[in-house]
Chains A and B, each alone.
Chain A
Amino acid sequence: MDNFRTLKITIYRTIILVLIAIAGGVAFNQFSPKGLKLITPFHRVNIGDQHLKIPIFLSRKLYKQQSLNLGSHQPLEFRLNEAYEHYQNRSALFIDARTSAEYNEGHIPQAVSIPIESFDYQTPILADFPMNQMMITYCEGESCSESIDLAVHLNEIGFSNVHIFIGGWEQWQAAGYPVNEGDQP
């Protein structure tokens, strides 16, 4: 009988500890500058019969570690030399996913600016291109994730030939390749 009561007390106490932890975690998260949304924001990606939910924090590292099962729409990575080759051949549309201010300071020539935060499915510039247009997204460098998010968005709306230039603006600049300034491609 005593054993049973001891066990019961332990279970009650455990529940109280869990409640304290939940309260502590949620309160801390509320006030922390690095706090997260309680419900993870995500993109919905529909490919054929497949419905995928991709969390928005999906970062470059994560993307590199795993191959998202996006079927034939999967965005592929391009290295610097591949990106440069397409630039020279004018065989791909470069898309700058950074902010407009960053784009104006300098970007890959011919690249159009689609800041990820202003992306919407009606972005007029996209209407000009066929769905199989080769696209190469990029952002600041290896540690940013806007280019991946943008590539995922572009896949969502049906562009089937989207690539990500992982090295981004930093590698392009470091290689001494041509750059343009201002708000025109």
Chain B
Amino acid sequence: MNKVKIFSAIAIIIRLLLGFLFLYSALDKILYPARFAEVIYNYRLLPVELLNICAIIVPWIEITIGITLLLGVWIDASAHLLSGLTIVFIGLLLSAIVRGLNIECGCFSLDSEGSLVSWKRIFEDILILIGGIYLLWYSFKKQILLKSQSALE
């Protein structure tokens, strides 16, 4: 019983932390979409035509993740989306490092100092990914548990 409580307490903490983090990350990108489009362009991976649409949608995916995590709604889907997005981010960062691009990361904020692409950013994303996978695992367990309980009743 205690174990269950600990697991759910951990889940709540991760949920809140990641929820706020994702809302914060989205803020700059929504306020300065053109700057964010430039950041995406710097990665030199997307066709030029798609830069804007990507800059428009990605921050809103982050907002959707942030809000659902904070409200505790559809945690499974939110964690699923979060993990997928973070894996994409890690891939992008790795590809930039491999190609020797010295560019702004565009990870959490778009300040003029600009946090550059680096291994540290990848490490941060891996921590986020671990959080996402934990939430995914936890919400699965919980749903299955709830279902078996209601089946018993």
| B48 interfacial contact with A, CB 8 Å | yes
| CB interface residues, A 13-40, toward B, < 8 Å | 13-14, 16-18, 20-22, 24-26, 28-29, 32, 34-40
CB distance from A43 to the nearest CB of B (A): 10
**CB <8 Å contact, B38 and A38:** no
Q: Does B90 contact A (CB under 8 A)?
A: no
* Contact A26 to B56, CB < 8 A, known contacts A21-B61, A36-B33, A40-B49: yes
Docked complex: B88-139 residues within 8 A CB-CB of A: 103, 136
Give a binary string over B66-83; 1 marks a CB under 8 Å from any A CB, 0 the rest.
001000001011101100
In angstroms, Cα B85 to Cα A12, docked, is 17
Of A6, A25, A65, which contacts B57 at CB under 8 A?
A25
Alpha-carbon separation in the docked complex, A11 to B32 (Å): 31
Instruction: Name A44-78 residues within 8 Å CB distance of B.
Output: 53-55, 57-59, 61-62, 65-66
Which of B2-10, B11-19, B140-148 makes up part of the contact surface? B140-148
User: Majority SS of interface residues in chain B?
Assistant: helix
Partner of A28, one of B30, B41, B80: B30
Chain A residue nearest to B141 (CB atoms) is A6
Question: Once the chains bind, are B77 and A54 in contact (CB under 8 Å)?
Answer: no
- A37 and B49 CA atoms in complex are apart in Å by 10
Task: Name B53's closest neighbour in chain A (CB-CB).
Answer: A38
Q: Is the CB of B33 within 8 A of A22?
A: no
Number of B interface residues in the complex (CB < 8 A): 40
Q: What residues of B have a CB within 8 angstroms of the CB of A65 in the complex?
A: 42, 103
- Since A2-B147, A6-B147 are in contact, a sample of 9 more A-B pairs with Cβ atoms closer than 8 Å, ordered by chain A residue number, is A2-B144, A3-B144, A17-B77, A17-B78, A32-B33, A36-B37, A40-B37, A55-B48, A62-B42
Interface of A with B (CB < 8 Å)?
A: 2-3, 6-7, 9-14, 16-18, 20-22, 24-26, 28-29, 32, 34-40, 42, 53-55, 57-59, 61-62, 65-66
Q: Which residues of B contact A (CB under 8 A)?
A: 30-34, 37-38, 41-42, 47-53, 55-57, 59-61, 63-65, 68, 74, 76-78, 80-81, 84, 103, 136, 140, 143-144, 147-148
List 20 A-B residue pairs with CB atoms under 8 Å apart, sorted by A's residue number. Answer: A2-B144, A3-B144, A10-B80, A14-B80, A17-B61, A17-B78, A18-B61, A18-B64, A18-B81, A22-B57, A22-B60, A26-B57, A28-B56, A34-B34, A35-B33, A36-B37, A53-B47, A57-B37, A62-B38, A65-B42
